[in-house]
Amino acid sequence: MGSHPNILVFDSGLGGLTVLREIVKARPDAHVTYAADDAFFPYGQHSEEALVGRVVPLIGELIDAHTPALVVIACNTASTLVLSHLRAAYSVPFVGTVPAIKPACAASTTKRVSVLGTSGTVKREYTRALIRDFAGGCDVTLVGSVHLAALAEAALGGADVADEAIHAEIAPCFVDADGSRPDTIVLACTHYPLLLDRLMRLAPWPVDWIDPAPAIARRVVTLLGPGSGPSDHQGDHPGAEMVFTSGRLPRFTAALAPYFGGRVPA
């Protein structure tokens, strides 16, 4: 690995790749380890107790195995619950992914915003507090989706996912109240930007879809520094790894390549 700091990016599945993609662009010199807790996917369906009991020790094992300089919890369902526990337990810096309610409400012209997340994320006290503190007079609709993360994984894996299935998950975000419509939708699950083209196409009217990944990458750069560029020209290139808790071997397909900035993870 040479002088390349290791950044550990963690999610329940492949949604965190949408965050990894921005981190790789922002710090092309860093080694990246992508860890997916696919054995426990989807996180949205687990109780808060089960998730804390699962994620806190698992992140400890990943820190021991990969000695990251920084850990990104690229999962809203986990971040809105376990970040404080992780920071109390481990000294490595953490960056979380939480619903981008503040920028969305600041940007909305109609003052109507929908937050599309897992059913776990929309239930969290953390999410409710973000609305209380940052809605700034906006009317915020929370939409908990049960199936969209799994549909995004299926689509990334090459399955033929029907428009109707995606439309059914996003429809509750689009409520027209006597001509007053949401104009901004927070993508509060890292899986959803995997489907962005289809979300835009299936939306009943145009809206801004807020993906927090670029802001997360900027936070990583603030904490780790700007880095030294893609390569030090001495044959010492940053690498990439993919780890699945199910133990399955990483099945690296062409569809995943863009998320790793062209690297092929070990």
Among 17, 23, 38, 42, binds ligand DGL (CB under 6 A): 42
Identify the helix (H) or strand (E) that includes residue 123. helix 119-123
The 200-239 contact track toward ligand DGL, x by CB under 6 A, reads: ----------------------------------------
Q: Which is nearer to ligand DGL, 42 or 265 (CB)?
A: 42
- For tokens 């619950």, the residue is 81
Contact between 7 and 20 under an 8 Å Cβ cutoff? The reply is no
Q: What is the distance between the alpha carbons of residues 63 and 92, in angstroms, rounded to a whole number?
A: 8
173 included as an active-site residue: no
Residue 250 neighbours by CB under 8 Å, 6+ apart: 242, 243, 244, 265, 266
Question: What token pair was written down for 77?
Answer: 């369902």
Residue 143 neighbours by CB under 8 Å, 6+ apart: 114, 115, 116, 117, 122, 170, 172, 173
75 included as an active-site residue: yes
| Segment contacting ligand DGL by CB under 6 A, of 56-64, 70-78, 128-136, 258-266 | 70-78
Considering all CA atoms of the chain, what is the largest pairwise distance in Å, rounded to the nearest integer? 64
Among 6, 33, 77, 141, binds ligand DGL (CB under 6 A): 77
Q: Which is nearer to ligand DGL, 11 or 29 (CB)?
A: 11
The answer to the question of residue 127 lying near ligand DGL (CB under 6 A) is no
User: Smallest distance, Å, CB 29 to ligand DGL?
Assistant: 26
Q: What is the distance between the alpha carbons of residues 245 and 247, in angstroms, rounded to a whole number?
A: 5
The answer to the question of residue 12 lying near ligand DGL (CB under 6 A) is yes
The 160-199 contact track toward ligand DGL, x by CB under 6 A, reads: -----------------------------xxx--------
At residue 231, φ and ψ (nearest 5 deg) are: -155, 150
> Which residues of the chain form contacts with ligand DGL (CB under 6 A)?
11-13, 15, 41-44, 75-77, 118, 121, 149, 189-191
Binding residues for substrate: 11-12, 43-44, 76-77, 190-191
Indicate which residues carry an active-site annotation: 75, 189
